Amino acid sequence: MTVVITGRDLTLEEVVRVARRKESVRLAPEAREHMRATRAVAERALERGDSVYGLSTAVGALKRVAVGGPEAAAYARRLIRHHLVGQGTPAPDDV
C-alpha cells in the first residue's frame, strides 16, 4: 500500500512501513500545491529584494551576510553538504 504524504497527518506506523517494509510513497496533490505556494512566497520576497534567511543570506552566525548573484546556487549546494554529519558506527539497517 502506498503512503500518501499530505503534510498534515503522517503517522509513526506509516514511517515504519516505508522504512522497514519499503512501501512506496507519493505526495498528495494538496501537498504539492502547498509546496508550490510556499516557493512562490519566497520567490516574490527575493524579487522585491527582501532578505530571506538561507536564500539571500547565509545562516546561523552569518545570517546578516548577503548571498546572491552567481554564487547563490553554489552557496546552496555547500550549505546542504556542510550540514551532512555522521558519527560512530553505522546504525543497523532497521534503524
Side-chain-side CA neighbours of residue 39 (13 Å): 6
Average pLDDT over residues 46-55: 93
Please tell me the predicted confidence (pLDDT) of residue 78: 92
- Amino acid 51: pLDDT: 94
Which carries the bigger pLDDT value, residue 92 or residue 45?
45
Confidence check: pLDDT of 94 > 80: no
pLDDT tens digits along 2-49: 999 999 999 999 999 999 999 999 999 999 999 999 999 999 999 999
pLDDT at 93: 79
**CA 7 – CA 54 distance, rounded (Å):** 22
